[in-house]
A and B are shown apart, each in its own frame.
Chain A
Amino acid sequence: MIYRVIGRILEALGVLLLVSFFVFSIATLIPGDLSLQLTGVDGATEENIMRVRAELGLDRPFIEQYLSWIWNATQGNFGNSPLTNRAILGDVNAALPVSLQLALFGLIGATIVGAPIGVFAAVRSSSRLGQLIRTNLIVLLSVPSFVVGALLVFFSSRYFPQTYRSLFIRISDNLMENLKVMFLPSLALSLTLAGVVAQVTRNALIQELNQPYVLTARAYGFSSRKVVFTYALRGAVVQILTVGALLFGSIVGGTVITERVFALPGIGNLMVTAIGNRDFNLAIVAILYVTVVYLILNTFIDLAAEKIDPRIRNMKS
């Protein structure tokens, strides 16, 4: 077991290294850097730019910059963002919980809405209602999140002003207010993702319902409920979990749009803003945080899958 854990950690470090290298490379390829931001439009003389660049160390060769960043990183020193002059770690640490919370609530909401629809669609797949659901799911799937978000903001601010909160309150500051703030964005995300959850649930469940061991259950006269929930659902859960975990990861890193529409200071927002400003020191840390989230999720999926499906434990890797 020890070997396994060590192996995983080494793997993770390798991934992080790769990602950091990749981001660094992209950073050098993208035109423009912080020097322009710092000098401002007026002060953008040749001398000033060169001076700022030298200050920031942006004129050193790529490898040197990268290695010195790595060196600092291993000591936990990520420095300050030249733009904000605040510690990078502090900003990122503050942003991550926001995204995690959004992802959690969004996913839970999506499951509450989507999973029952998926189960229903699978069980009734041959009936007309089932077919109807299948086609409508595709519609649900195609509505972009910002449309849902924007619509929600519009309608809530007009007709249900109590639900709309523009100022973000941290969970550590005031739980109730935080929940009120998170309500609409979570709802937006849930509605967007419910379609995906429903689709995956439906497909996985249909596959399971066609398995021979489910037929055995029917042959022994088990009730429909038992057949679906005890015998069929278990096999489907691995697939659903996998998709769910991946969704979680993509929300944490990717719902910039939802964060922007609802003005949430999440990590997606932070990342995109930083990149837009060419503040790569900040961006790279944010990206790495998201990578770590994915790595943890991956491990979680593997462990959960093994627990649920015992055949996986004995398979050759």
Chain B
Amino acid sequence: MAMTNEKLLEVNDLCVTYRIGKKSLEAVKGVSFHLRPGFCLGIVGESGSGKSTIAASVLGILPRELAKVNGEVLWGDEDLLRLSRARLNALRGAEISMIFQNPSQALHPMYTIEFQLEQVFDKVSSSNFSKGTLSVSEAMSMARLKCSKDILNTYPHELSGGMKQRVMLAMALMGKPQLIVADEPTSALDVTVQLEVIELLRSIIANENVSLLLISHNLGVVAGIADEIVVLRNGGIVESGTAEQILLEPQHTYTRELVGIRV
């Protein structure tokens, strides 16, 4: 289904408050941004800035009992925050996919890679979108993994960090999503592997016309992929602009601090 809007994802005044017992914590305070097709938006900030919460909100995976969410997250003309569970489930994996920080924890330790990939394949195949899906081997190739038994028949703990992250990427790509939300996708990886993953993400955005919402505290990673950047601090945006603007000519003092010293 082609998007007639210019904006793929539009977040308006997103507010997330966590309730733990009697205390409440405002994690996200009125954040607004948007994403266009084939485009990468980087959200940078230190730990505790709320960036992971924003990522989780887009997919609606915040724990309902703990988090109160206000605002709008528009996907076309649907508000992801107010969708039915069924509709949200249909979108997940098929239209919007997510990659997590620690692939060792994000993959199930007791099932083979093949099993886990096929589970996702079966799921996205049955969603109501006629645009089709990638096969398991196609998705693996796109993540530059050889579709061979020595990967498929193994368990996650038998693979290196970089390979596990590629498996996650293959999983995310199978449903031919329009948006991938990547929460610190390279933080747990070695630096040489990090660059390979950055390159991979760059080529996927360019060749498959997928948008990427990239959350990272690592400015080098963001510099390598993001077209525009939003700087988050304590749940609010302090500055936003193109990658060049933010990284080369930051205006806000906090941004200057972040950018100032060597990564």
Contact = CB atoms under 8 A, between A and B. Distances in A.
Interface of A: 126, 211-213, 215-223, 226, 230-231, 234-235, 308-311, 314
Given A212-B102, A311-B157, A221 B123 contact: yes
A213 B106 contact: yes
- In this complex, the interface size class of chain B, counting residues with CB under 8 Å from chain A, is 20 to 34
B109 A222 contact: no
A212 B155 contact: no
A215 B93 contact: no
Interface string B88-119: 11111110011010100111111100000001
Contacts of B120: 220
A220 B170 CA distance: 13
Given A212-B100, A230-B119, A311-B155, A219 B92 contact: yes
Nearest to B175: A220
A47 to B, nearest CB: 70
10 contacts: A212-B100, A212-B102, A213-B106, A213-B107, A220-B93, A221-B89, A221-B93, A222-B123, A223-B89, A235-B109
A210 to B, nearest CB: 10
Given A211-B105, A219-B92, A219-B93, 17 more contacts: A212-B102, A212-B106, A213-B106, A213-B108, A215-B106, A216-B107, A220-B171, A221-B92, A221-B123, A222-B119, A223-B89, A231-B108, A309-B109, A310-B110, A310-B155, A311-B109, A311-B157
B107 to A, nearest CB: 6
B109 A310 contact: yes
Nearest to B115: A230
Contacts of B93: 219-221
B127 to A, nearest CB: 8
Main secondary structure of the interface of B (DSSP, over half): mixed
Contact of B61 (A215, A230, A310, A314): A215
Contacts of A215: 61, 100, 106
Contacts of B257: none
Given A212-B102, A213-B105, A311-B155, A220 B110 contact: no
A314 B109 CA distance: 13
Nearest to A127: B65
Interface of B: 59, 61, 65, 88-94, 97-98, 100, 102, 105-111, 119-120, 123, 127, 155, 157-158, 171
Nearest to A218: B61
Nearest to B105: A212
B66 to A, nearest CB: 9
A314 B102 CA distance: 21
A126 B94 contact: no
Contacts of A222: 89, 119, 123
A235 B110 contact: yes
Contact of B110 (A218, A221, A226, A309): A309
A228 to B, nearest CB: 13
A220 B155 CA distance: 20
A314 to B, nearest CB: 7
Nearest to A215: B61
A239 to B, nearest CB: 13
A308 to B, nearest CB: 6
B122 to A, nearest CB: 10
Contacts of A216: 98, 100, 106-108
Nearest to B112: A310
Nearest to A238: B110
A-B pairs with lowest CB-CB distance, top 9: A221-B92, A221-B89, A212-B105, A220-B93, A213-B108, A310-B155, A219-B98, A216-B106, A126-B65
Contacts of B65: 126
Nearest to B107: A213
Contacts of B119: 222, 226, 230
B88 A221 contact: yes
A280 to B, nearest CB: 47
Contact of A234 (B105, B106, B110, B157): B110
Contacts of A235: 108-110
A242 to B, nearest CB: 15
A213 B123 CA distance: 16
A310 B105 contact: no
Contacts of B158: 314
A143 B13 CA distance: 55
Given A215-B61, A310-B155, A314-B157, A220 B97 contact: yes
A310 B155 CA distance: 7
A226 B98 CA distance: 18
B172 to A, nearest CB: 9
B94 A221 contact: yes
Contacts of A217: 108
Contacts of B59: 219
A276 B98 CA distance: 66
Nearest to A125: B65
A212 B168 CA distance: 13
B92 A220 contact: yes
Contacts of A126: 65
